[in-house]
């Protein structure tokens, strides 16, 4: 290990540039944003874009729930409904959740947490943001020029010959372009973590969020090209009739599902791993307690990433995949549950003997544990061959993946936004309204989706515009829940926007975080660190103390900087 010459403690002001200048105001003008290569500004642009898409797809979700409040035609016809759930799924998956945490929060905090000045390839970083924008434009074009009603899974032969809607090619192009945006983000982060760590920042001193982002990067780079080639094949299949997937031309529709899930299952881990990384940070910081079992959590991230590549067939148990592969995939699928369970237990152990503050980010973190536990455990029903046959393609699956994708990834994202909001914007939001909104989201979420487990096990198939009366009561409850949840999100949007203008000025370290981003000012300076920062145990909070005047934490003056103790 490298030895570092430590002669003086890190002053709390370290890294602070001249009073008042930071990454937000050191240059001005629209061009200074659109052409920026600063990872922080790119992260903020991503955040705004992704939240806009989230709003749009969320509205689609609400419309779906409204349509389903009663059987038959409520507010839209079947074709409109089919288009609505397709867009809700495709936008949420490809435009929101996959890029959400890595590209927005990851971009913002990764280099700072690492102690680097920027990501390895800033220009590529900006390029991948514009690829995202291009993908978004294609997605909009898909809506305008023909619409799409295939479901986000784009199964052939429905997508190649079955649908009259012609937006499918645009949507495929959107997926292709967004895939490359995701690849370049992941590539950038992997290289950054490998090559830009400052002296002293060894692998096992990295905050766990970085381990999660690193594991995510592996999947982004190694799985995403396959969805690229899949949609390219889909496009040529639809446009020219190539016959790789279309049985009527001698192709194999099941092969498409192999192609699709070879990416889309690992993509589930692209979505959830960064969320788990955020939760590791949130639990530790807001409990002021060293994370429990650092190495187990770190390795479990990598294990999830690797196992994630060999379980894709569990989406195909009833697709007429061969029984041999079904058995194989079911067996491997269960292995993925272990690292997830390890994480949950380690988070619980972190709470033990902590000093737990129930502020908004922590409430989201606790919600995550609650919801992800349900989402993860119900995965057992679906990984088990005999029960999956009954539950596959029912609302049970819908509930399961919403608990994981939304209760996991999105809740973690919202929690992360609250956690780093003071750092990103330099403002504090209203703690009171934060807790109220979190409560509404939590309650609304459970009302919306828990009932869907029941509905699904009773046999209600998914993607149904109409249904028999006996399922109505569940649909009504679910729809009511979705309105409660929407109210929670609107309140969140309101107080966050309000805080931008009226919020209290944020201290550098409002929560008592120990990783490097909390040692910069809020918001951070443009250069992050004029000098390479000192690195210590990023979960050792004993070096901090409360500053009543600042309403935040700062470095203890009486303790030498802990770098080198390991």
Q: Does 122 bind other proteins (CB under 8 A)?
A: yes
Under a CB-based contact definition with an 8 Å cutoff, are residues 110 and 119 in contact? yes
Q: Does 73 bind other proteins (CB under 8 A)?
A: no
Q: Does 494 bind other proteins (CB under 8 A)?
A: no
Both tokens of 508, joined, read: 């550098």
Coil, strand or helix: which one is 545? strand
| 528: nearest Cα among 18, 189, 26, 40 | 40
Q: Does 559 bind other proteins (CB under 8 A)?
A: no
Q: Considering the complex, what minimum distance in angstroms separates the CB of residue 426 from other proteins?
A: 22
Both tokens of 186, joined, read: 């992941």
Contacts with other proteins, 410-449, as mask; x by CB under 8 A: ----------------------------------------
Q: Considering only 57-65, 96-104, 337-345, 490-498, which stretch makes contact with other proteins by CB under 8 A?
A: 337-345
Which of 172, 185, 321, 521 touches other proteins by CB under 8 A? 321
Rule CB under 8 A: which of 246-285 touch other proteins?
A: 246-255, 258-259, 262
| 519: nearest Cα among 509, 507, 527 | 509
Q: Does 191 bind other proteins (CB under 8 A)?
A: yes
Under a CB-based contact definition with an 8 Å cutoff, are residues 319 and 254 in contact? yes
- Return d(Cα 83, Cα 60) in angstroms, integer: 10
Inter-CA distances, 14 with 285, 295, 306, 513, 532, Å:
21, 29, 39, 15, 11
Rule CB under 8 A: which of 442-481 touch other proteins?
A: 453-454, 457-459, 461-468
Which of 48, 327, 493, 497 touches other proteins by CB under 8 A? 327
Q: Considering the complex, what minimum distance in angstroms separates the CB of residue 339 from other proteins?
A: 8
Q: Which is nearer to other proteins, 269 or 294 (CB)?
A: 294
Q: Does 298 bind other proteins (CB under 8 A)?
A: no
Which of 69, 78, 133, 436 touches other proteins by CB under 8 A? 78
Find the angle CA(101)-CA(98)-CA(61) to the nearest 5 degrees. Answer: 105
- Return d(Cα 179, Cα 173) in angstroms, integer: 10
Q: What is the DSSP letter of 60?
A: H
Both tokens of 281, joined, read: 């940070």
Q: Does 405 bind other proteins (CB under 8 A)?
A: no
- Return d(Cα 263, Cα 225) in angstroms, integer: 8
Q: Considering the complex, what minimum distance in angstroms separates the CB of residue 108 from other proteins?
A: 15
| 90: nearest Cα among 20, 176, 27, 162 | 176
Q: Which is nearer to other proteins, 49 or 367 (CB)?
A: 367
Q: Considering the complex, what minimum distance in angstroms separates the CB of residue 394 from other proteins?
A: 7
Q: Considering the complex, what minimum distance in angstroms separates the CB of residue 500 from other proteins?
A: 27
Q: How many residues bind other proteins (CB under 8 A)?
A: 162
Q: Does 17 bind other proteins (CB under 8 A)?
A: no
Q: Does 361 bind other proteins (CB under 8 A)?
A: no
Q: Does 387 bind other proteins (CB under 8 A)?
A: yes
Which of 20, 195, 469, 501 touches other proteins by CB under 8 A? 195
Which of 21, 337, 433, 487 touches other proteins by CB under 8 A? 337
Which of 161, 473, 493, 566 touches other proteins by CB under 8 A? 161
| 101: nearest Cα among 453, 409, 494, 448 | 409
Neighbours of 253 (CB within 10 A): 17
Q: Does 295 bind other proteins (CB under 8 A)?
A: yes
| 367: nearest Cα among 479, 498, 288, 275 | 275
Q: What is the DSSP letter of 253?
A: H
Q: Considering the complex, what minimum distance in angstroms separates the CB of residue 522 from other proteins?
A: 18
- Return d(Cα 219, Cα 478) in angstroms, integer: 34
Q: Which is nearer to other proteins, 53 or 150 (CB)?
A: 150
Q: Considering only 19-27, 191-199, 274-282, 404-412, which stretch makes contact with other proteins by CB under 8 A?
A: 191-199
Burial (0-12, 13-18, 19+ Cβ within 10 Å), 541: buried
Rule CB under 8 A: which of 48-67 touch other proteins?
A: none
| 364: nearest Cα among 304, 428, 440 | 440
Which of 17, 198, 439, 560 touches other proteins by CB under 8 A? 198
């Amino acid at each position: 290990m490298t030895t570092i010459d430590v002669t003086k403690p890190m002053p709390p002001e370290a890294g602070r540039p001249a009073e008042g200048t930071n990454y937000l105001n050191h240059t001005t003008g629209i061009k200074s944003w659109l052409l920026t290569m600063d990872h922080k500004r790119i992260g903020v642009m991503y955040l705004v874009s992704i939240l806009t898409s989230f709003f749009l797809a969320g509205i689609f979700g609400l419309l779906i729930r409204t349509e389903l409040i009663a059987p038959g035609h409520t507010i839209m016809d079947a074709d409109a409904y089919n288009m609505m759930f397709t867009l809700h799924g495709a936008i949420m998956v490809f435009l929101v959740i996959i890029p959400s945490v890595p590209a927005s929060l990851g971009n913002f905090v990764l280099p700072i947490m690492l102690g680097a000045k920027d990501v390895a390839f800033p220009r590529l970083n900006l390029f991948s943001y514009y690829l995202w924008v291009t993908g978004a434009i294609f997605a909009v074009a898909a809506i305008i020029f023909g619409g799409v009603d295939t479901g986000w899974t784009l199964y052939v032969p429905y997508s190649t010959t079955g649908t009259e809607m012609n937006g499918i090619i645009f949507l495929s192009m959107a997926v292709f372009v967004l895939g490359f945006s995701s690849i370049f983000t992941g590539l950038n982060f992997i290289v950054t973590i490998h090559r830009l760590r400052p002296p002293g920042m060894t692998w096992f001193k990295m905050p766990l969020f970085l381990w999660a982002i690193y594991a995510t990067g592996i999947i982004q780079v190694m799985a995403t090209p396959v969805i690229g080639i899949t949609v390219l094949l889909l496009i040529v299949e639809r446009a020219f009739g190539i016959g790789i997937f279309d049985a009527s031309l001698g192709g194999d529709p099941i092969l498409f599902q192999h192609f699709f899930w070879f990416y889309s299952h690992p993509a589930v881990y692209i979505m959830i791993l960064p969320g788990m990384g955020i939760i590791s940070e949130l639990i530790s910081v807001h409990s002021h307690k060293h994370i429990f079992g650092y190495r187990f959590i770190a390795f479990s991230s990598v294990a999830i990433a690797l196992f994630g590549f060999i379980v894709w067939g569990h989406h195909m148990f009833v697709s007429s995949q061969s029984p041999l592969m079904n058995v194989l995939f079911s067996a491997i699928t269960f292995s993925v549950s272990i690292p997830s369970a390890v994480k949950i237990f380690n988070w619980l152990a972190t709470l033990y003997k902590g000093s737990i503050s129930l502020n908004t980010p922590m409430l989201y973190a606790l919600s995550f544990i609650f919801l992800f536990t349900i989402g993860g455990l119900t995965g057992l029903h679906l990984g088990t061959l005999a029960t999956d046959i009954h539950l596959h393609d029912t609302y049970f699956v819908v509930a399961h993946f919403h608990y994981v994708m939304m209760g996991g990834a999105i809740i973690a994202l919202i929690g992360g936004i609250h956690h780093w909001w003071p750092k990103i914007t330099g403002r504090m939001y209203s703690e009171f309204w934060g807790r109220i909104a979190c409560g509404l989201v939590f309650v609304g979420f459970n009302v919306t989706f828990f009932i869907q487990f029941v509905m699904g096990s009773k046999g209600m198939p998914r993607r149904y515009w109409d249904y028999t009366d006996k399922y109505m009561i569940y649909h009504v409850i679910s729809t009511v829940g979705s309105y409660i949840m929407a109210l929670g999100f609107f309140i969140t949007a309101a107080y966050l926007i309000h805080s931008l203008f009226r919020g209290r000025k944020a201290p550098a370290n409002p929560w008592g975080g120990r990783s490097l981003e909390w040692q910069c000012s809020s918001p951070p300076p443009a250069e992050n660190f004029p000098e390479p920062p000192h690195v210590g145990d990023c979960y050792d909070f004993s070096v901090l103390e409360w500053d009543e005047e600042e309403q935040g934490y700062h470095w203890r003056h009486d303790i030498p900087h802990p770098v080198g103790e390991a």
